A = this chain, B = another copy of it.
Amino acid sequence: MPSEFELIDIFLKPFGGGEGVGSDCAAVKVTRGMQLVATTDAVVQGVHFTLPRFSPEDVGWKALAVNLSDLAAAGAKPRWFLCALGVPPRTARLAERIARGMAKLATSSGCKLVGGNVTRSSEWSITITALGEARRPLTRFGARPGDALVVAGKLGDAAAPGAPKAQRRPVPLVDAGMKAGPFASASIDVSDGFVQDLGHLCDASGVGAVVECSALPLGPAARALPHGMELALSGGEDYALIWSVPRARVAALQRVVKCVEVGRITRAPGIQLTELGVPRPLPARRGFDHLR
């Protein structure tokens, strides 16, 4: 088993040695006029992934992807991240492969590793804090009755059987999120399930929503399954983006981002589903609870 400092060197290699990493702190300059946008999210062995269903490279990719998806929801440009590892002693050699998957996404998204931590633990855990910039960050709080409900990305595929690629290597919709910034009134990413995450947006904004299920953008795997709509509604881990958009801006948004209108924001609280106009019951399981 490597020492703590050997493991840090091993981990940093795919990041080009982690220039600037190695002090107690990272020091960075936020662009003038921009707000700093910060988020933290963990992936834990046995909760978010199992080996060998996930390769170590998948784990590293996904740990960063779930954080970049939160930045995408805020419409923020990814800039920097910190990575805290919990390492079970007997599998420390996986660190290099985890780093390789993470570095691939870090490079393609322009997000730079600037700090981290290593400690022993019972199972692998990767806790990332991602930092981005936005002039006017989107939140869950601004949806207004009458706004259109718009989705970018695909739903349901991540929950299809057999740990599909959509679950192992989700692609955070960073560019779409940044482009939607000037158009959306509120935003959230679909991490725990479409109905549950839409519920968070509605609760935070003090509104409700009506969703026409036939308009939901199911992924190809979900579309091929008899219960694909259930997966799209509550499967989770899709990392699609849900936006509320003032009606007058929908067309302009759709000219710059591929996205579909799936419903509208209502004054009455709660979520109502319809399927081809006919009311459809809410799924029994709304989404994922990370403690249950």
* Chain A interface residues (CB < 8 Å from chain B): 1-5, 7, 22-30, 32, 35-42, 44, 46-48, 70-71, 73-74, 76, 80, 82-84, 86-87, 89, 92, 114-123, 125, 127, 129, 131-132, 134, 137, 139-141, 188-189, 204, 289-292
Contacts and interface: CB of A to CB of B under 8 A. Distances in A.
A42 B86 contact: yes
Given A22-B140, A27-B139, A86-B86, 9 more contacts: A23-B204, A25-B74, A25-B139, A40-B82, A41-B84, A42-B127, A48-B119, A82-B129, A87-B291
Nearest to A35: B27
22 contacts: A3-B289, A4-B291, A25-B70, A25-B71, A26-B39, A27-B35, A27-B137, A36-B36, A38-B114, A38-B129, A40-B82, A40-B115, A40-B116, A41-B117, A42-B86, A42-B117, A48-B119, A86-B125, A89-B291, A92-B291, A118-B290, A118-B291
A137 B24 CA distance: 11
Contacts of A204: 22-23
Contacts of A140: 22-24
A73 B122 CA distance: 30
How many copies are assembled?
Answer: 2
Contacts of A82: 38-40, 129
A167 B290 CA distance: 31
| 3 smallest beta-carbon distances between A and B, as pairs | A122-B122, A129-B129, A24-B70
A4 B41 contact: no
Contact of A35 (B3, B28, B32): B28
B27 A119 contact: no
B116 A44 contact: no
A86 to B, nearest CB: 6
Contacts of A132: 25
A213 to B, nearest CB: 24
A117 B39 CA distance: 9
Contacts of A127: 40, 42, 84, 117, 127
B24 A188 contact: yes
A27 B36 CA distance: 6
Contacts of A84: 40-42, 84, 127, 129
A24 B38 contact: no
Contacts of A47: 119-121
A74 to B, nearest CB: 4
A118 B192 CA distance: 13
B115 A39 contact: yes
Given A23-B140, A24-B74, A71-B25, A38 B291 contact: no
